[in-house]
Amino acid sequence: GDFHLLPAKVQRFVTEKVELMRPRGIYICDGSQHEADEITNKLIERGMLSPLKAYENNYICRTDPRDVARVESKTWMVTPDKYQTVTHTPEGVEPIMAHWLAPNDFSSELDSRFPGCMSGRIMYVIGFSMGPIGGPLSKIGVQLTDSNYVVLCMRIMTRMSPAIWDSLGDADFVRGIHSVGVPRPVREKVINHWPCNPDRVLIAHRPAEREIWSFGSGYGGNSLLGKKCFALRIASNIARDEGWMAEHMLIMGVTNPQGHERFIAAAFPSACGKTNLAMLEPTIPGWKVRVVGDDIAWMKFGADGQLYGINPENGFFGVAPGTSHKTNPMAMESFQKNSIFTNVAETVDGEYYWEGLEDEIKNPKVEMINWLGQKWHIGDAGKAAHPNSRFTAPAAQCPIIHPDWESPKGVPIDAIIFGGRRPEGVPLVFETFSWIHGIFVAACLKSETTAAAEFTGKSIMHDPFAMRPFMGYNFGQYLQHWMDLANAPKGEAARKVPKIFHVNWFRTNKEGKFLWPGFGDNIRVIDWIIRRLDGDDSHALKTPIGYVPTEGSINMDGLDPVKWDELMSVPKEYWQEDAKEVRKFFETQVGIDLPAEIRRELDEQEKRVAAM
């Protein structure tokens, strides 16, 4: 690319950062196939990528085993006032939603990392759009990076093209600065040709400046800055200022056997089933699901009172293990070509492999290289793939991508679902009583920890709105923002707020086995949800936590017998304990920032449970 053709503001941004990070050269990306081929070939030569020769243009990459997931504990929001970022927690209680770094501390963290950090490396300049280029809900970002793996993945995950510069003109943009943090000459041994600096990882956001500084990691959630950093943490700040929402949600279009389509958004914590639900293959006849997005939704109420949502991304960055033709055939179809696999295993026949493909692999005795680079066979100790290994695939390759997935104004959202991994006490599905009760339920969202973050061992953690790791500002204000969105400004039509539901695919029996088959059978729950949207009042039982399906109201045709009571029950003792625990959570983690209406929802729910 030609530096002098970049918009003046971008030129200034690049010049400033070149002075700071001192790369040996600048490369302005155009997002073309030719450019991607060149970079790919260079990475193959260097040993960082290798072709998976069983497919067309698919590549595999193994990271340094210390760089495999997002690092929540090193992810910061930098704001002058602490309480712009975090809630007022009592003395000694660390806020779990957003971590605050004072501007002065940030300056010294920056000074000890970024000066000269690209020495001996090329700095790539990536102009990209989140959302269709030029769309009313879309936003432009510019990421600087010294990782060509990041360039290749950003090309899949975002819209990267010279058209960005024309669309941007003199306007402002979100600034992303990313370095793997390994300047040349390299002092320490680079493992797997994957430069990173795990001890010095820092992912910092300056929301007022719309700026992201990421250091030391090449892992997607830390390094593909368009994704969680921009599209959630920074965008939720922009969204609050501009009156819309940036959420950790899939968007799916669901057509019922009568041919009527509804759009649903759903928020689950990382590795809890968004990608799978978005691409669900219905097991009951007559239904059709098409995917708009699998991870992030930007949503705005129109002047007509309807909520519209876009998927700001251009690709899928999905969890590989557990993905198979049985569980998620449409994801499998999406990554047969032009995709990148990170930390999965590779067979000597040039195929990918991970846990969950046991029944599909052509030759179960085949020799493999596991994600750690060791020889491995099915049945050997250890794992073939890292539990958070990922595929990066172009969304357009998904056979059930929705024809309107790039609609600039978005698709009309009629329902919002929240959910998590809840082995105990939480029914398969319930409908909340109102917008405000729905906000309360989302604020109480909890889930068992997964490999998508650095936590070890299984425990149930709070993950409000599935946004805990992605919260961009004070959680109390975030709740207030959601509440305020129900009221239309003067001159606009009254807002049709979506109905809010909660689902739990992960309830287990005493032996720890899932009570619900999940995956394609989740359409049965979606069917019930859609009938509720259509005004079917006969199939819901009022319980203290919301409406649950009456027995027989979920289509079970063709399913092995399901233990209805175990799956649907709302145990009094469990919910009494839950209310106490939530009260403590609100007191210690939200404090005076908790809107009074949300506290009232808790009071009322606790009373309803007590009266059971």
Catalytic residue numbers, as ranges: 272
Strand partners, 315: 394
* Residue (175 or 446) nearer to ligand GDP, CB: 446
> Whole-angstrom Cα distance, residue 274 to residue 502?
14
Beta bridge partners of 100: 77
Q: Name the segment binding Mn ion (CB under 5 A); options: 93-101, 158-166, 193-201, 269-277.
A: 269-277
Q: Is 335 an interacting residue with respect to ligand GDP (CB under 6 A)? A: no
State the minimum distance, in angstroms, from the CB of residue 69 to ligand GDP: 12
Q: Which does 70 bind (CB under 5 to 8 A by kind): Mn ion, ligand PGA, ligand GDP, none?
A: ligand PGA
Instruction: Please select the residue that binds ligand PGA; options are 236, 270, 328, 522, rule is CB under 6 A.
Output: 270
Query: Helices 148-157 and 33-46 sit at what angle, rounded to 10 degrees?
Result: 140
Alpha carbon distances (Å) from 374 to 138, 194, 400, 454? 43, 16, 36, 23
Close Cβ partners of 67 (under 8 Å, ≥ 6 residues apart): 194, 196, 198, 217, 218, 219
Residue 171 C-beta-side C-alpha neighbours within 13 Å: 13
Stretch that binds Mn ion, among 3-11, 33-41, 60-68, 315-323 (CB under 5 A): 315-323
Is residue 319 a contact point for ligand GDP (CB under 6 A)?
A: yes
The residues, any chain, with a CB within 8 Å of residue 395's CB and separated by 6 or more, are 291, 293, 294, 311, 313, 314, 315, 316, 334, 401, 405
Residue 121 binds ligand GDP (CB under 6 A): no
The distance of closest approach from Cβ of residue 294 to Mn ion in the complex, given in angstroms and rounded to an integer, is: 5
Q: How many residues appear in the chain?
A: 612
Q: What residues from 205 to 224 belong to the interface with ligand PGA (CB under 6 A)?
A: 220-221
Prior bond of 185 cis (ω within 30°): yes
CB nearer to Mn ion: give 385 or 570. Answer: 385
Verify binding: residue 271, ligand PGA, rule CB under 6 A.
Answer: yes
| Dihedral pair phi/psi, residue 124, rounded to 5° | -90, 140
Give burial (CB, 10 Å; 0-12/13-18/19+) of 69: buried
x-or-dash pattern for ligand GDP, window 482-521, by CB under 6 A? Answer: -----------------------xx-------x---xx--
Site for Mn ion (CB under 5 A): which residue of 63, 87, 275, 334?
A: 275
Contact of residue 322 among ligand PGA, ligand GDP, Mn ion, none (CB under 5-8 Å per partner type): ligand GDP
Which residues in 461-484 are b (16+ Cβ under 10 Å) and which e? Answer: bbbbbbbbbbbbbbbbbbbbbbee
95 binds, among ligand GDP, Mn ion, ligand PGA, none (CB under 5 to 8 A by kind): none
For residue 339, which of 392, 409, 260 has the smallest C-alpha distance? 392
CA distance 316 to 250: 11
H or E element that contains 36: helix 33-46
Binding positions for ligand GDP, 276-295, rule CB under 6 A: 276
Question: x/- site string to Mn ion, residues 538 to 577, per CB under 5 A?
Answer: ----------------------------------------
- Is 452 a residue that touches ligand PGA (CB under 6 A)? yes
Closest approach of Cβ 372 to ligand PGA, in Å?
A: 20
220 contacts 239 by C-beta, under 8 angstroms = no
Query: What is the contact surface with ligand PGA in residues (CB under 6 A)?
Result: 70, 220-221, 228, 270-271, 295, 317, 319, 452
Query: What is the contact surface with Mn ion in residues (CB under 5 A)?
Result: 274-275, 318
Query: What is the contact surface with ligand GDP in residues (CB under 6 A)?
Result: 268, 270-276, 318-319, 321-322, 327, 505-506, 514, 518-519, 522
